[in-house]
Every structure is written in structure tokens, then in C-alpha cells.
Amino acid sequence: MPNKRRKGKAKAGKKSTTTNGDASSNCQTLDEDEITRCLEPATHGDPPSRCALHHRQYCNLTKAYKDASKIVDEILGQDTVLPTPSQVSQYKDYQTTLEKARWLRRYVEAIRKEKMGREIHHKRFFLKVDDGHKIRMKVLAKQMRSIVELLNEIERRAFDLYVEQYPESNLSKMESSKYEETPNPAPLETEQVLTTVGTSLPSLGPKNRETSHFVEEDAQEAEDFDLVDMKIRAQKEALLYVFEPMYSRTAAQSLRGDKFKHKDLELGVDIMHHILSQYARRIVFHEPVLFVKSIGKVSFQDLILSPEFSTEDAARFFILFQKRLEIGLLWWKDCVMEAVNMVHSGDVSNTVANMGDPHDRFVVLGGWIYNKRHKSRMSNEAWWHLIKSLEPIPDNVENRFVRLCNDFDDLESFLSFVAFGMPRTPPRFLDEDPELDSRISRNTLSLSGVAVTDIISANSLPFPFPSTHPASGPGLRTWGELESRAYIFGAVRDGNQLRTGAFLKELRARPDLFYVVTHSEADAPGKMETFGNSSELAGQIQYRSFEAPASGPSEAERGEWKVARSATDILYGTDPNCLGYLTSLERGGSYARGWFFRFKQFAVKYFVIMDAKPHRHAFHVFRAAAWAALRAQGLADGEYSKLKFARASDILFQKAARERLSWMPAGYGGWSATSYEEELRSKGSGLRPTPGAGPDEPSDVAAQSSQSQSTDSHRSQFSYAAQSSPDDFTPISSPSSSLPAASCAGSTPSASLPTQRTNEMAPALPKLPYAADGRCIIVIMTSSFDLGSPINTALFLFILYSVQRIIFPSVSSPKSIPNEFKAGYSWMPKSHPPTVLFKTYTPKTLQPYNGVDDSRILLAINGTVFDVTAGRNFYGPNGMYGNFAGRDASRGMAKQSFDLEMLTPVDQPLDKLTDLQPDEIDNMKGWFDHFSNKYLVCGKLVENDGI
């Protein structure tokens, strides 16, 4: 019977309890946790350093990693084992390719086992690593990377062959080609994968959820334990534990602590569990390497515990899991739709199986998924769970969510939840000044079915400015004047929709406020409709120059305006420095990067609403457009005032909230919102018309007290109440706000949910502040000159400078020709670009180009010299192929060996390669083709006396 001993008796450094009392005579081995020192007497070794148990384990460990080392060396010693990338691309049979992959994977596992055994060897038994182990482990690490890269190529080729040879799988119709390919991750240690994967799951795990749970305190060691196998199995179990919430509802629910007091809140856990499960299946389906390994597997456990699933595969999975807001956003959206339907139907498998075209569905790891996006409209509940499950959402990613919308109804739903404060970060184009109401106006328009995606303020001097350009006579001076107008850009539903028509009718009725340009995607490109201030046909930017007395010009002397940028140019302008919105969208690529409508899937009617008056901040036209939207819905009438706007906005908000949140179960607690109108009345008892409002501008009822100018005045607060601890669900409000807290229906004592957690799953934290639309105080600027934000200031200065150059062009010739294009239209580079000449090299003249003394790195294959400087990490002094730098690498490439014996001394004749076998010649040709396609051919190699 093997000798057994319980672990964890004492920590290193504690006094020994052995009979002789001499700590130095104790076993020097660390237990499995690599912290606790064994306290048994040292009886084996020369001198004695280990107890009998650990000495036997040491012998077994040494034998195990040396046996693995023999396998590695045998494979490395064979001449024709490893295929080249070009050979892999020529594989024609799926099963044969799979066999190649399995064989190479055994090689990888042999390397892994030897490397892991050597690590245990020095960490537990010797506490430090000797030079021989260091060198060997470095060699193994380099070999591991190159072999894993080759294995990835073979497994991806197996996927391509599977698609070709099994057309009934319908994989040829996969939409994954639209997404970027996952980069091959470098080989990672399992501990690294577990740390990163464990922290990347969306707010699921408790903070004390650690994989060390697998080191059992009551575990027993035996002499015949395979320590390497134990560690590998522990790592597999750890991976299974980390991925458990994706395949186990019990695990997902246990992460929440105590059992929920209300069954409605359990639905949130079920939905999140199904989202994770479906998303994990899509990752496996769309990643070729993972998909090949999932064939024939019936569950996540089956895949993770299979010998084929490696730590590199876990890293590959994690890379895609991190991209939920990038490549994976469409997948995540489909997963949310499926999860919501699965929970409400009660029939998990059949629900998903019937959600789409049967020809587009696949069984992956025991569950159905689709290879094409769901075309049905998302429910309000699905939108809510989608956004909450992705929080925190970074700034300026609204355009990514547009890609999820199948029609304008979806877009309107998304923008409605944005108006509710989901996500809580506003778009960059909205002014955060508390005295401006750009967020309120945008949210009002969003709830009215009007998508506003950009606003630009007018930044120009409202008066003429003197110029240095000489005048034509004495007493005169040349003056310039610049005029610009603010505008907003967005879209409405295309077609004859009643609400859209009513909104445009309201805009058309106020030519004194708006100049509007629209374009329907149902019309030909470039076809636009304009209406508004047609008497002047004012441009968005226009200028004029004139001569007038130096004391100042009169209005009659100023001349006619010249349009620099028209209102239609805002949509279809082609100036490279200021492209129109639709021109940028049509050109695509970098021109459209970041635009809201870049990924849109449906037709809309674009609009530009330009302020009829120049020199004003955009909030004027923005606010007026929001008022027009309220009038179009019958929620307001007459001229604008703040109080009337607040009353209509409250009605609109309550109506939208009732519509969008009618699905919310009673167990969630309900929702309520404070009144914007009541807030204004409580803070502005002395309401009166805003000073500075002209006769052509509506009176603005505003609170002029000091309270109205403070930063604690908010839009209607909006929050949810849930059955939970008050500590978890405190109503959201500004610390300094004097508003009454949002009332919470259905709140209960603090015994419902654990309060120690602060980052819970979305359905259990249903609180949303409507304060996301910022401050509600509207201040009419008494001065017509406002530089606004730093971005507008910079834009104004650029426009002013550009127009000045147009009006008063320079006529003098430069003293010297500029050396870069930014300094002038005509320029010439300082020097001719460096060139690479095709040269003839000998072994002696090639040797200096090894990356040590010269920055260039050259190598030769079959008489051709390649410049591999771009691959310095591989061929430089510290690269894995550094031996080949500055040398003839022909034999090494043919033999697939990096040994120094593969290199011919530089003072000897060139290697004729006459002893190579045909398959070795093919290897060399494969590498030659690879280098020819990747690196520059810069010369040829001849004998030392050949020049």
C-alpha cells in the first residue's frame, strides 16, 4: 500500500516537529501549492534532501518529462515531419488533414508536458532552475510557438475542406466572412487564460471566485502520482469551472448568492445564462479552429475536457468573447433575442429551432444557432436586456447599435432607450454645458421618431473685420465679413408616414426659423428637396469683402455674399477638407468611419435643418426643431416657452415609457419619473420672459434666479425599483439636487438580495436615470458672438483663416520651396527616397547583414538573397531563426532545422545541396515561395571568388 500523507501540515518557515528537531534535515520539497514545506525527515538523495514519498514522486516526474523530451527530440530529428505552409495549403482531404492535426497536437502536448515537468521539477524539488533547464525551456518555448502557428494553419485548412466536402452542412453560406478573422493568439499559460477569461465575463462572478478551489485541502499524495498529469487535469477542471455559467443554469444562479425572493428576478438570471450559452456557441461556430474541434461534441463539457481543447483554444475563445461590442455585437443581439424567447416559451430547444430559416440553423455543442442574423424586429424587452448586459458601454459607439436595427422601428426603439439613459454616456456631438439643452432636445426628437446624429454650431464674427489687404484709395480700408449658420443632421422614417409628414410640415411652416434640405434613399443619388428661407437661399458659410472708410463700414457698402458652402453641400459636398455626410457614406472606408448611419440596413430620409439666422449656437435650431416635433404630435401649440415645453415633454416621456416598459414584470418593482414641469415651477416661482429675446424669437420662460443658473437642475429623473436592499437600489440623483427622489413602487425590506455585491447582473439592477439628457436650463445668449466648445473654436479659427486666404490671396513667391505638402501647394522632398539596389553577394559579404552591426537583415535561400529586416523579431539577433541572419539558410529550410550544423562556414564553397531528398527540396521550395511573397528580393548569392 503506498505511503500517504495529508497535505498542508505547515507553512515553510515553521518549526519542525520531527524527533531530531533539526529543520535542515527535513524534506526540502514544497507541496502542490508551492508554498507549504514538507516536514517529514529527509531520507533519500545524496545528500538526503527528500522524504521517501517525494523522492519517489521526483523520480517519476523526471522519467515522465524525459520520456516526453525523447518524443520531442525524435520528431525534431526526423527530416520530413513538419509540413511547410505551402504544403498545408495543398491538402485536399478533410480526414487526412485531421489526422495531420491530431499528430501535430500530440507533438504540442509532448512539448507542453516536458515544459510543465521541468517547471515542477525546479519549483517544487530544487526551488531554482539550473542553466541546462533554462536553455531547454527557451528552446521549447520557441518551438512551441512555431508549432502552434503551424497547427493553426492545418486546423483552418481542415475547416475549409470540411466546408468543401460536406456541402450539406450549409457552411458555405456563413456570414462570418463579413467579420475580421480572429488573430492567432500566442501560446498562453492556463493561469493567464483563467485570469483574463474570469475577469471578462459580464459581471457574473463573485469577487472571491478563484480557480484555487481545485486544490483540495484534504487531498492525499501517493508515490505513484503523475504530477504533470495532475496539473493538466487540474487546469482542465479549472477551465470547466470558469466556463460553467455558460452551460449550467445552476452555476449562473449560484453566482447571485441567496435564492431570489421573487420568481420574476430569476428570469433575469435565466436570460443571462441563455445569452452566454448562445454566444459561446456562436464563437465556436464562427472560429474555424474551435469549430473543427467541436464537430461530434455534444456539450461544452465535452469540448473543454477533450484532449483537443488546449489553453490556446481558451485564449482564442476569450479574444472573441472580449469583442462583444465589436465583431460579436450582431451575435450578441441574436443571442439576446433567442434568450428572451427561450425563457418566455419554456421550451428551450424548440424555441430557438423555430426562430429562423431551417436551412440556416446548426446544432453546436447541443444547442441550435443560426449562421445568419435574425430579421425580425427586436422587442422592447430584448433591447433593454441587450443594453444592460453590455454595460458599461464606452462613449461614441451608438453607430454600432445601428447595425443591429432591421428597420426604422428598431432604430426608434434603440434611440428611445438612449433617451431613457441607456447607455448613460451621451454622444460626443452633444454639448455638455448645463446652460444648454442639447440633450433634452435630442431626447425629445428621439422619442418623436427623429434621429439626430450631429449638430454643428455657427462660429463666426457677427461684424466686419479689417484686413491687411491694401485699399484702392486714401481714407479707405479693405474689410471682410464671414457668416455661418448652425445646423443639425439626422434622418426620419422614409415613405408616407403620418408622423414624419407632420414633422416636416411643421418645419416647412416656419421659414423664419429653418432652412431644410432632405434626401430620400428611395430617390436617385443627389436628388434633394429644399424648403425654408428660399428668398435668400443662404449658404451655410458665406463671405464678402469690400472697401469702406477706415472708421467703419455701413450696411449699404458691404456688397453681395459669396457662398463658400451651401446647405446642399452639407449632404453632398465634395471638398476634400469638408465632405458632405452622404458623400462620406457613399465613399465608405475611412471616410465613413464613426458615422452614425455607416452600418444601416434600411432606407431613411436624411435631413439637414439649418438655422435661418447666422452667428447662433446650434441649441437654438435644435430646441426649435424639438418644439416642432411636439407640435406635430399634438402635444403642444403656439410659440415656444420653457413651461409649455416641459409640460409637453412630460406627456411624451410618460407615453414612451409606458409603451417601452409595459413588458416589465411586477417583480422588477415598476418605474416612475419626476415631473419636469413641477421642477420648473418649484425652482422658478418668478418665471418671466427671457431677457434678450428679440421680437422675431419666441419668449423663453426661464427661471432667472440663482437657483436656475446652478448645476443641480436636471431633466426628469427616471429610475426603476426592484425587490432588493435599499443599499443596492438607491434612487439616482445628483448629490446636490434638490429634486424629490424618484418614487419607487413595490420596494421591500432589505432581506431580498445580498447587499455586498456592487456589480450585479443587468436584470437585478433595473435602474436608469433620465438625467442622461443633462441640464434643463435654457439660456438665450445675450451676445451673438459665442465660441462655444473648444472644438467649435478650432473650427471657427480654421474657417476664418481659410476664408481670409480666399479673399486676400498671397501674390508673393516663396523664398524657398517647402519640403512637405502641408507648407504649400508646390513642394519638393528634402532628399530622394532610399532605394534598394539588386546586388551580388558572396558568403563573406552577406555575413555582416545579420542585424547586429547593420540594421539590415539579409538571408539567402537557393542562391536568392532576401531582405527580411521587416521580420526582425524572427530573424534578428534574438529571434527564433536568428541563426539564418546573414547566412545561406537553404539547408536549414530544407531540413526544417535551426541547428548551427545546417550552416556552411562562410570561407568554404557554397552548399550544393546534392544530398537532399526530393521532399526536402520541396520543403525548401515552399519556404522560397513564402519568402518571395512576403519579403523583398535584393540580390543573388555566388561563390566567394565569383565577383
Q: H-helix or E-strand containing 150?
A: helix 131-165
- Best mean pLDDT range from 468-482, 724-738, 762-776, 809-823: 468-482
- Average pLDDT value for the chain: 73
Q: Please indicate whether residue 613 or residue 688 has the higher confidence score (pLDDT).
A: 613
Q: Tell me which of 225-234, 235-244, 310-319 is least confident.
A: 225-234
d(CA 246, CA 240): 10
Residue whose C-alpha cell reads 441567496 in the numeric block: 258
Q: In this structure, are 11 and 116 located in the same domain? A: yes
Predicted pLDDT of residue 537: 56
Task: State yes or no: pLDDT of 636 exceeds 90.
Answer: yes
d(CA 947, CA 427): 67
pLDDT at 791 over 60: no
184 within domain boundaries: no
pLDDT(285) > 80: yes
pLDDT (0 to 100) of residue 725: 29
Residue 769: pLDDT band by 50, 70, 90 thresholds? Answer: very low
Using the predicted structure, report yes or no on whether residue 217 has a pLDDT greater than 70.
no
Strands 514-520, 604-611: pairing is antiparallel
Picking from 660, 675, 700, the residue at the C-terminal end of a domain is: 660
- The answer to whether residues 476 and 543 belong to one domain is yes
Q: Judge if 195 and 161 occupy the same domain.
A: no
With a cut of 80, say whether residue 755 has pLDDT above it: no
Mean pLDDT of 721-750: 28
- Give the pLDDT confidence score for residue 316 in this predicted structure: 80
With a cut of 50, say whether residue 732 has pLDDT above it: no
577 shares a domain with 457: yes
Q: Are residue 144 and residue 99 in the same domain, yes or no? A: yes
The answer to whether residue 775 is domain-embedded is no
Cα distance between residue 888 and residue 720, in whole Å: 72
pLDDT value at residue 719: 37
Helices of type H across 78-128:
85-89, 94-120
What is the total count of domains within the chain?
4
Please indicate, yes or no, if residue 393 is contained in any of the structural domains.
no
Percent of the chain with pLDDT over 70: 70
Same domain, 134 and 239: no
Per-residue pLDDT band for 237 (boundaries 50, 70, 90) equals confident
Any domain includes 881: yes
Task: Tell me the mean pLDDT in the region 180-203.
Answer: 43
Residue range 873-917, pLDDT digits in tens: 788 887 878 889 999 999 998 988 878 888 999 999 999 999 998
310 & 210 share domain: yes
Q: Are 52 and 38 in contact (CB under 8 A)?
A: no
Within a domain: residue 802?
A: no
420-433 pLDDT, tens digit per residue, is: 888 777 777 776 55
Residues 26-32, mean pLDDT to the nearest whole number: 82
pLDDT at 832: 75
The lowest-confidence range among 86-95, 375-384, 432-441, 700-709 is 700-709
Residues 583 and 623 in one domain: yes
Tell me the average pLDDT across 482-502.
90
Give Cα 567 to chain centroid, integer Å: 35
Range of the domain at 143: 5-165
Same domain as 497, residue 561: yes
CA 537 from centroid of its chain's CA atoms: 43
Supply the CATH number for residue 923's domain: 3.10.120.10
Average pLDDT over residues 363-391: 90
Does 327 share its domain with 234? Answer: yes
Residue 623: what residue type? R
Picking from 632, 660, 688, the residue at the C-terminal end of a domain is 660
- Residue 224's pLDDT band (cuts 50, 70, 90): low
- What local confidence, expressed as pLDDT, does residue 549 receive? 85
* In a domain? residue 293: yes
Which H or E run includes 482?
strand 476-484
Please tell me the distance from the alpha carbon of residue 534 to that of residue 933, in angstroms, as a whole number: 60
Burial class (CB in 10 A: 0-12, 13-18, 19+), 243: buried
Give residues with Cβ within 8 angstroms of 106, minimum separation 6. Answer: none
Which H or E run contains 937? strand 936-941
**C-beta of residue 456 within 8 angstroms of C-beta of residue 528:** no
Higher local confidence (pLDDT), 633 or 125: 633
The pLDDT assigned to 802 comes to 58
Q: Residues 161, 194: one domain?
A: no
Contacts of 445 by beta carbon, 8 Å cutoff, 6+ apart = 451, 452, 490, 625, 626, 629
In a domain, 733, yes or no: no
Higher pLDDT, 848 or 72: 848
pLDDT of residue 36: 80
Q: What's the number of CA atoms in the CB half-sphere (13 Å) around residue 122?
A: 13
Give the per-residue pLDDT at 326.
87
Q: What's the pLDDT tens digit per position in 162-188? A: 777 766 555 544 444 333 333 444 444
Q: E strands, 457-559, where?
A: 465-466, 476-484, 487-493, 514-520, 529-532, 541-549
**What element of type H or E holds 607?**
strand 604-611
Q: How many Å apart are CA 582 and CA 580, to the nearest integer?
A: 6
Closest-CA residue to 517 (of 550, 552, 565, 576): 565
How many other CB atoms are there within 10 angstroms of residue 865's CB atom? 22
At 711, the pLDDT band (50, 70, 90 cuts) reads: very low
Higher pLDDT, 740 or 73: 73
Q: Which of 644, 660, 676 is where one domain is finished?
A: 660
Q: Looking at the structure, do residues 543 and 600 belong to the same domain, yes or no? A: yes
What average pLDDT score do residues 438-442 get? Answer: 86
C-alpha cell read off for 842: 558572396
* Ramachandran sector of residue 537 (left: φ over 0; alpha: ψ -120 to 50; beta: rest): left
Is residue 22 one of the residues assigned to a domain? yes
Band of residue 189 on the pLDDT scale cut at 50, 70, 90 = very low
